[in-house]
Chain A
Amino acid sequence: MRKILLLLTVILVGLLFISRLFYLQIYNKEAYSLFEDSAIKKEYDYPKRGYVYDRNGKLLVANQPSYDVMVIPREVEPLDTLEFCKLLKITKEDFIKKYNRAKNYSPRLPSPFVPQLSKKDYAVLQEKMRKFDGFYIQKRSLRDYQTSIGANVLGDLGEVNQRTIEKKPYYSLGDLIGKQGIELSYEDVLKGVKGIKFSQKDRFNKIIGPYKNGRFDTLPQPGKDIKITIDSELQKYGELLMTNKRGGIVAIDPSNGEILALVTGPSYNPNLLVGRERNKNFSRLYLDTIARPTWDRGLQAQYPPGSPFKVINALIALQEGVMEPEEKVTCRMGYYYGSRKLTGCHHHKSPVDMNAGIAQSCNAYFVSAYRKIIDKYDDAGEGMNIWADHAKSFGLGNFLGYDLPVGQKGRIPDGDYYDRAYGDNRWGSTYIVSNAIGQGEVEATPIQLANMAAAIGNRGYYYTPHIIKEIEGDTIPSKYTTRKETTIDKRHFEPVVQGMFDVYNKGTAASLRIPGIDICGKTGTAENFIKIDSVKTQLTDHSIFVAFAPKDNPKIAIAVFVENGYWGSRFAGRMASLMIEKYINNDITRTDLEHWILTHSLENEYAKPYSGEPFKINRETSLQVIPKTQAPDDDFNSSINVDTNKPKL
């Protein structure tokens, strides 16, 4: 015992030390990362974000510098809080709240403390910053919108959230990332790559030199500029026409699928979502659940398309060989099944052939065509599936695949759909005749309708609608340059196109002709309902218009949708006509028509369901006329004023 006491102690201590080393260095060790090493200072250099130009090369979105005060809680030393708060224009409670939030996120990683200082505050603060250990100023670039239009297309930037950081480690807290519109869909193109500089620090947090001679440092790579397909003049005009209305306008160039205008109303000034007031303004816009300015009606408003859908049924009937263009259908103010009236119709000449059927929008004609399609097959389910496949080949009933981040599928019901609704084989074509006239279960978004018009104008094919025109030093994805064929043979289109032409010539939109331009179009009206105190209540119909022009080799296909605008040519038809004239002639000759649109508001219509009082709809309503002085002019804006404190270049 005497001889081995020290020996045993030595061995014991040695083993204890090795276990402690094992615990510290292997068991308890977090994976080493240069980014989390407190001895290494990381400085980011943010690249220029890509600029955005419209199709004619007009600059829409540029950048402006911004300065964030960042904090690394672990490195904060006791400071003169009062002075610091005064410099940052925050209260002491704010300071404690912000500090604790940053510390909860991570004591060793930087968090934004006060984002987006004004230039003046930055100038004052910069000189005093070295007094506050653990705080520093990070320069970033914010968007600077050169326009007040197209907020729904251009989108905006916001601070990246933690979930995204976990998925994409490129981002760190306080970074800006595209949140909506093209900023979101082209984030990877626009953002560039931020540069980073590693420096060795000593224990007083002083930089003593570059880390490993800057071997790991990188230079920022600027983001790529992009050109979008929007024609900013047309877009601006569309937004002007949409003032005091709710709805969407989608204009597409049928020859290549480029989206010329994507209007939603009401909209807002994109500069509202820049700078320190972003969160406040975004909440205000987002929480407006009645007007819903952040809801892109051109892409997301999904409604029964109404009459414009009739032309699809005409095309399918021809393709399936169940109707001939000359074949006439008698309309007795509706369609009768035995003695039962399945659907009504309005007053027009009877009997009608296909041309007159389209031009006069005769319900009986299309119900009869639709029933023939379905009943051509022994089984209604099979007929329905064939019909649905034809309709879907026009881009209806599913996501179109365009490059903006929001959308709706729309709906084209098939056999299974009704089997589920009615039970297997317990239904027939008479159950579902509403689909013939674009009511019932069929639903579509304005961009789907515009694309449908483009496919008809092209006589059987379309290009996937898209917003990207050019990417600096890159090509646009091939799916936007690949033709998509419909299932309808080319020869069947002529009678239908002629019918749509006659809508303007002698049909429901005869009053909207433009001298010198052959327009083909189709009016539509969609019934709609909401629940008021859990009672299903009908509101004034939505006004819909779908058109393309010129008749041959069309340059523009357009869908206009105005909520509660009543019949198709009342609002939507007028606006579509003006948009086409603006785009093709770049001039408005029918100023009285323009004046009518600008001086008529639907705001009182929208207020009705919220008034708490009984109200009337459709033909029993009268239009609200706004005096000329209050009518929007070229300098229109949304009702929310732009934050004047926003940092300016």
Chain B
Amino acid sequence: MHNREHHKNFGFDWIIIVLFLLLVGFGWLNIMSASHEGEVVSYFDMSQLYGKHAVFIGLTLVLITLILAVEAKFYERFASVIYIIAMLALVGLFIFGKDVNGARSWYGIGSMTIQPSEFAKFATALALAKYMSDLQTDMNTIKHQLRAVGIIVLPAILILLQNDAGSTIVYASFFFVFYREGLQQIYLAIAISAIVLAVLALKFGILITALVATVIIGGLYFFRRKKRASIIQHIVILLVCVSFSAGVRMFYDHVLKPHQQNRISLWLRLEKDPAKLERMKKAEAYNLIQSEQAISSGGLTGKGFMQGTRTTGKFVPEQETDYIFSTVGEEWGFLGSALVVVLFMALIIRVLFLAESQKSQFSRVYGYAVAAILFTHFTINIGMVMGLIPTVGIPLPFFSYGGSGLWGFTILLFIFVKLDSNKINEW
């Protein structure tokens, strides 16, 4: 029966395809609302952003056909080549790149621009899957772990150097992949501790953080009498914790740029000086306040398609790209925005579910990477638009305006659809 079903559907997972089409279609409607200048005369008006995006979507369909037409084995076999090309494209930016908003992450070809970092994501995912599924790779050895991390860190560093810190953060999502593939539990503990320590250090200062760490580690030492390690070990861990907190603090104070500091300060509500807060409201917090107000004004059912007063007045800057979700919130209300959240959850969970069912480790690792990358974008973007996490400028997959982003995510997703369709042929 399984076979027959596959035969009928050409083996492609139609749930993913339908979810993809829904997200892209709904995204396009919102881009039209957010970006139109004057009356909408034609849906394919090339002088307007939504017209251009319609063309991008059309090209996406061509791209999908190509991806699905290629032999599945091709992706595994050429993973390294694709990775190398992507890395070269990133390096090339330093020579041929074009500055947009202070980030050197674009190639300009005529009037068109291409952002290679959007394509580097799937290339990295392919390369990582290839490396980890290699029979000679043993992820339990530090050496191989470091190599795997190297595959991720290389593009991350290149992108960071191009001043696009937001896209860099996405590479942290590969942690989920490592963990799934057997990374020791201790790393999860370290990751969670690091996040908690960083937040504590920023919010309450090093002294209180050190105190909390001492109490917890001391507690562990006294109550785990049977299996406990030596006191020296505990002291070392405590020292590491404290120096890490101090490091985070120094990083925040001396390495981060003022606008990045302010974003974090707003999120953790660190600033108490009302005059400075008032200034921040007009600068770093402006987008956030406007987008929260736009979403809030939508209410249960929203103001209706093309009827949002804040969207029409373009109150939220970048509302057709990173802040597209505010338009959804204003015009489609709670029902529409919750639906978008549910669609994303369904897509990610479906990818995860299929990844688990893969027979080849390559497909499984790749599928996991797809889910993790989509999840990170979804979490950071919507979290930012609703004021739950600090401002990080990354797009909402399939929704935000832009050709590179749309194509990058489409390739990422459909390579997996192709790999998945091929699983009956795997051993």
Contacts and interface: CB of A to CB of B under 8 A. Distances in A.
Which of B179, B180, B309, B313 has the most chain A CB within a 10 Å cutoff? Answer: B313
Contact of A7 (B182, B315, B352, B382): B352
Interface in B333-367: 333-334, 337-338, 341-342, 344-345, 348-349, 352, 356
Interface string B195-239: 000000000000000000000000000000000000000000000
A6 B176 contact: yes
Interface in B284-298: 290, 292-293, 295-298
Given A22-B334, A25-B337, A5 B176 contact: yes
A211 B313 CA distance: 10
B179 A2 contact: yes
Nearest to A1: B185
Nearest to B309: A39
A39 B372 CA distance: 38
Interface in A12-32: 13-14, 16-18, 20-22, 24-26, 28-29, 32
B54 interface: no
30 contacts: A3-B180, A3-B356, A5-B188, A6-B375, A10-B349, A10-B352, A10-B371, A13-B375, A17-B388, A20-B388, A21-B295, A21-B329, A21-B341, A24-B292, A24-B296, A25-B295, A25-B296, A25-B299, A26-B299, A26-B334, A29-B296, A29-B299, A37-B297, A39-B313, A40-B309, A202-B313, A202-B315, A203-B313, A203-B316, A203-B317
A151 to B, nearest CB: 46
A201 interface: yes
B352 A18 contact: no
Interface in A279-336: none
B341 A201 contact: no
B312 interface: yes
A11 interface: yes
Contacts of B418: none
B263 interface: no
A32 B337 contact: no
A639 interface: no
B299 A32 contact: yes
Contacts of A16: 388
A39 B303 CA distance: 13
A208 interface: yes
B310 interface: yes
A18 B313 contact: no
A212 B39 CA distance: 11
B310 A25 contact: no
A200 interface: yes
Interface string B295-332: 11111100100010110111111000000000001000
B341 A200 contact: no
B241 interface: no
A630 interface: no
Contacts of B188: 5
Contacts of A7: 349, 352
B399 to A, nearest CB: 14
Interface string A32-71: 1000011110000000000000000000000000000000
A186 B241 CA distance: 78
Contacts of A203: 290, 313-317
Ranked 10 nearest A-B pairs via Cβ: A39-B309, A14-B345, A25-B334, A39-B313, A203-B315, A24-B296, A202-B313, A6-B176, A17-B341, A39-B310
B368 interface: yes
A6 B181 CA distance: 12
Nearest to A6: B176
Contacts of A208: 312-313
A21 B180 contact: no
Contacts of B388: 16-17, 20
Nearest to B378: A13
B368 A6 contact: yes
Interface size class of B (residues with CB under 8 A): 35 or more
A16 B344 CA distance: 14
B163 interface: no
A93 B298 CA distance: 40
A208 B337 CA distance: 27
B386 interface: yes
A25 to B, nearest CB: 4
Contacts of A201: 313
A203 B349 CA distance: 38
A26 B329 CA distance: 12
A11 B337 contact: no
Q: What range describes how many residues of A lie at the interface?
A: 20 to 34
A10 B345 contact: yes
B17 to A, nearest CB: 20
A2 B338 contact: no
A417 B423 CA distance: 104
Interface in B132-152: none
A629 interface: no
B383 interface: yes
B379 interface: yes
Contacts of B295: 21, 24-25
A9 interface: yes
Nearest to B372: A6
A26 B300 contact: yes
Given A21-B334, A21-B337, A25-B329, A2 B182 contact: yes
A106 to B, nearest CB: 16
B352 A39 contact: no
B348 A10 contact: yes
Contacts of B342: 14, 18
B309 A200 contact: yes
A22 B300 CA distance: 8
A208 B297 CA distance: 20
Nearest to B374: A10
Nearest to A14: B345
B179 A5 contact: yes
B176 A18 contact: no
Q: Which of A14, A20, A21, A211 has the most CB of B within 10 A?
A: A21
Contacts of A9: 176, 375
Contacts of A13: 375, 378-379, 383
A596 to B, nearest CB: 73
A200 B313 contact: yes
Interface-centre pick from A17, A38, A202 (highest chain B CB count, 10 A) = A17
A7 B383 CA distance: 18
B371 A6 contact: yes
A387 to B, nearest CB: 66
A18 B338 contact: yes
A211 B310 CA distance: 12
A14 B290 CA distance: 23
B187 to A, nearest CB: 12
Contacts of B372: 6
Given A39-B315, A200-B312, A5 B180 contact: yes
Nearest to A16: B388
Nearest to A5: B179
Contacts of A20: 386, 388
A21 B313 contact: no
Interface string B382-393: 110010100000
Nearest to A201: B313
A478 B345 CA distance: 70
B297 A17 contact: no
A327 to B, nearest CB: 83
Nearest to B310: A39
Contact of B338 (A6, A21, A32): A21
Interface in B154-212: 176, 179-180, 182, 188
Contact of A24 (B303, B378, B386): B386
Contacts of B293: 38
Interface in A203-218: 203, 208, 211-212
A25 B293 CA distance: 9
A215 to B, nearest CB: 11
Contact of B383 (A6, A17, A29): A17
Contacts of B182: 2
B379 A25 contact: no
